[in-house]
Amino acid sequence: MLSELSDLARNGPTSSEFSIAQEQLRREYELFSNQYLRDVFLFYATHPEEPASDILYRTDLVASVTPEQLRALFSDVAPTDRFIEVQLIPAQ
């Protein structure tokens, strides 16, 4: 996993990975589950300064993201020189 994160931080996603991810998000964003709508209503009820109409433009937001922006994001939020390694050791 560290090598994948490192590769994303250095090179960003490939064009194939990027287009697949964008398509998956676009499809997900076309659907509105009851749980999602509940979470949206709660968010906007507690953040009245945020425009509730943003929900209508989420597919546009996904389309506006570039592979370079994702590379920069991975570089910032997933530095491979700072992590915690967790091991699961079976009980005997």
**3-state SS track over the chain:** CHHHHHHHHHHCCCHHHHHHHHHHHHHHHCCCCHHHHHHHHHHHHHCCCCCHHHHHHHHHHHHHCCHHHHHHHHHHHCCCCCCCCCCCCCCC
User: Number of folded domains in the chain?
Assistant: 1
The answer to whether 80 touches 2, Cβ cutoff 8 Å, is yes
Q: For residue 91, tell me if it sits in a domain.
A: no
For the whole model, what pTM was predicted?
0.67
Tell me how far apart the alpha carbons of residues 27 and 22 are, in angstroms, rounded to a whole number.
9
pLDDT in tens, 58-83: 889 899 999 999 999 988 888 777 77
Domain that holds residue 13: 2-77
Q: For residue 40, tell me if it sits in a domain.
A: yes
Q: What was the pLDDT predicted at 31?
A: 81
Mean pLDDT of 13-42: 90
Q: For residue 54, tell me if it sits in a domain.
A: yes
